[in-house]
Amino acid sequence: LSNWSTFGAGTRADYRLGRNVSATLDITSSLAGGPIDVYTAELGTRIRPDRSARRAYPFIDLRVGYARSSSGYLGGFGGQFDDPTFRGAGAFRYSSGFGAVGGVGLEYTLTRRFSLTTAASAMRNHMTARMFAGGAPDERSYTMTLYRYTIGVRYNPIRVIRPPGTD
């Protein structure tokens, strides 16, 4: 088993389906700090309470996701996030797979358009590692869990204008 931490960035698209539920698309990428690059794409939902005069809003995220990892440097493509018995000098290796994501978080309103957001989530994937080293390709499967802590700024350019006489 190998563990490490890395710094990354991501973006979220959020489409409000109702007062308490949104459809979400999250795309993330690791940037620095780990031995490999990890990319994720997640599609799901965010459940939260109604907006009111409060400043803090908790939420729950439920999504399905796809993760892909590959070596972060052009050398021998070693040090990859795969089965520890799956080694080979000078081999090209990458892993990918689908899984489930669950998370909780809090959004704190600063102004009408800006909020601070923080969340913790876990993504459990069934991964397939592939290695190409001169001969026939080798393939192995394993499970992987990604833990993520995020902090960010939310910008909402939308402004709702209600007609007179409506709530």
Q: What is the pLDDT of residues 28-65, one digit of tens each?
A: 998 777 777 889 999 999 999 987 888 999 999 999 99
Spatial separation of the C-alpha atoms in residues 96 and 68, rounded to whole Å: 4
Task: For residue 51, give the 3-state DSSP assignment.
Answer: coil
What pLDDT sits at residue 48? 94
The larger pLDDT score, comparing residue 157 to residue 135, is at 157
Mean pLDDT of 66-85: 56
The larger pLDDT score, comparing residue 8 to residue 31, is at 8
Q: What is the pTM of this model?
A: 0.75
Least-confidence region, from 10-19, 79-88, 156-165: 79-88
Site of tokens 């907006």: 51
What pLDDT sits at residue 82? 40
Rg (CA), the chain: 20
Spatial separation of the C-alpha atoms in residues 160 and 33, rounded to whole Å: 42
What pLDDT sits at residue 108? 96
CB atoms within 10 A of CB 74: 6
Residue 66: burial class (beta carbons within 10 Å; 0-12, 13-18, 19+): middle
What pLDDT sits at residue 97? 96
Mean pLDDT of 86-105: 79
Residue 123: burial class (beta carbons within 10 Å; 0-12, 13-18, 19+): buried
What pLDDT sits at residue 72? 47
CB atoms within 10 A of CB 88: 15
What pLDDT sits at residue 45? 97
The larger pLDDT score, comparing residue 83 to residue 15, is at 15
